[in-house]
Amino acid sequence: MNTETLNKEEKSAKITERMSGSEAVIKCLLAEGVDILYGYPGGAIMPVYDELFKYRDKIHHVLTRHEQGATHAAQGYARISGKVGVAMATSGPGATNLITGIADAQIDSTPIVCITGQVASHLLGSDAFQETDIVGISTPVTKWNHQITKASEIPSVLAKAFYIAKSGRPGPVLIDITKDAQFEQFDFSYEKCKGVRSYNPVPKTDIDDVKAAAQLINAAKKPLIVWGQGVILSEAENELKEVIEKAGVPAAWTILGASAIPTAHPLNVGMVGMHGNYAPNMLTNECDVLIAIGMRFDDRVTGNLNSYAKQAKIIHFEIDPSEVDKNVKTDLAVLGDAKESLKQLLPLLIANSHPEWHQKFKDLYAIEYEKVIKHDIHPTKEGLTMGEVLKEINIQTKGNAAIVSDVGQHQMIACRYAEFTTTKSNITSGGLGTMGFALPAAIGAKMSAPERDVVAIIGDGGYQMTIQELGTIFQQKVPVKIVVLNNEFLGMVRQWQQLFFDKRYASTEMTNPDFVAIAKGYYIDAKKVTQRNELKDAVAEMMACEGPYFLEVRVEKEDNVFPMIPSGASVSDIRLE
Partner 1 sequence: MSTEINTYTVSIYTENNIGLLNRISAIFQRRHINIESINTSVSEIENVSKWTIVVNISEEQIKKIIGQIEKQVEVIKAFYHRDDETIYQESCLFKLKSNLLFDERQIQNIIKESNARIVTVNKEFFVIEKSGRKEEVELLYRELSPFGIMQFTRSGRIAVTKEEMKITQMLQQAFQH
**Residues in a beta bridge with 314:** 290
Q: Which amino acid is at 39?
A: G
Q: Known catalytic residue: 179?
A: yes
190 Cβ neighbours under 8 A, 6+ residues apart: 27, 28, 31, 155, 159
Q: Known catalytic residue: 51?
A: no
Q: What is the DSSP track for 513-540? A: --HHHHHHHTT-EEEEE-SHHHHHHHHH
Q: Known catalytic residue: 492?
A: yes
Q: Known catalytic residue: 313?
A: no
Mark the segment that binds partner 1 (CB under 8 A) among 48-56, 190-198, 415-423, 429-437.
190-198
**3-state DSSP helix/strand/coil percent for the chain, to nearest 5?**
45, 20, 40
State the Cα–Cα distance between residues 445 and 403, nearest whole angstrom: 10
CB of 164 to partner 1, least distance (A): 6
Residues 378-417, one symbol each (x = binds partner 1 by CB under 8 A, - = not), give ----------------------------------------
Residues 270-309, one symbol each (x = binds partner 1 by CB under 8 A, - = not), give ----------------------------------------
Q: Which is nearer to partner 1, 33 or 140 (CB)?
A: 140
149-168: contacts with partner 1 (CB under 8 A): 164
State the Cα–Cα distance between residues 217 and 224, nearest whole angstrom: 9
* DSSP E strand boundaries for 153-209: 172-178, 185-188
Residue 266 binding partner 1, by CB under 8 A: no
Q: Which is nearer to partner 1, 120 or 569 (CB)?
A: 120
H/E element holding 239?
Answer: helix 237-247
512 Cβ neighbours under 8 A, 6+ residues apart: 460, 464, 486, 488
Residue 2 binding partner 1, by CB under 8 A: yes
- Cβ-based burial of 120 (10 A; exposed 0-12, middle 13-18, buried ≥19): middle
Residue 143 binding partner 1, by CB under 8 A: yes
Residue 222 binding partner 1, by CB under 8 A: no
Residue 144 binding partner 1, by CB under 8 A: yes
Binding residue (CB under 8 A) for partner 1 from 3, 185, 475, 530: 3
Binding residue (CB under 8 A) for partner 1 from 10, 17, 187, 325: 325
Residues 143/112, Cβ–Cβ less than 8 Å: no
Residue 534 binding partner 1, by CB under 8 A: no
The active-site residue, picked from 32, 67, 153, 184, is 67
State the Cα–Cα distance between residues 149 and 184, nearest whole angstrom: 10
Residue 205 binding partner 1, by CB under 8 A: no
State the Cα–Cα distance between residues 354 and 524, nearest whole angstrom: 52
State the Cα–Cα distance between residues 457 and 425, nearest whole angstrom: 13
The active-site residue, picked from 130, 468, 476, 498, is 130
Residue 11 binding partner 1, by CB under 8 A: no
Residues 348/209, Cβ–Cβ less than 8 Å: no
Binding residue (CB under 8 A) for partner 1 from 20, 145, 178, 472: 145
Q: Known catalytic residue: 8?
A: no
* 70: helix, strand or coil: helix
Mark the segment that binds partner 1 (CB under 8 A) among 63-71, 322-330, 445-453, 469-477.
322-330
Q: Which is nearer to partner 1, 266 or 321 (CB)?
A: 321
Mark the segment that binds partner 1 (CB under 8 A) among 131-139, 236-244, 468-476, 480-488.
131-139
State the Cα–Cα distance between residues 296 and 435, nearest whole angstrom: 22
Q: Which is nearer to partner 1, 306 or 322 (CB)?
A: 322
The active-site residue, picked from 27, 83, 143, 179, is 179
CB of 2 to partner 1, least distance (A): 5
| Cα–Cα nearest to 113, from 169, 52, 158, 77 | 158
CB of 146 to partner 1, least distance (A): 7
For partner 1, the binding residues (CB under 8 A) are 2-3, 5, 135-136, 139-140, 143-147, 164, 195-200, 320-322, 324-326
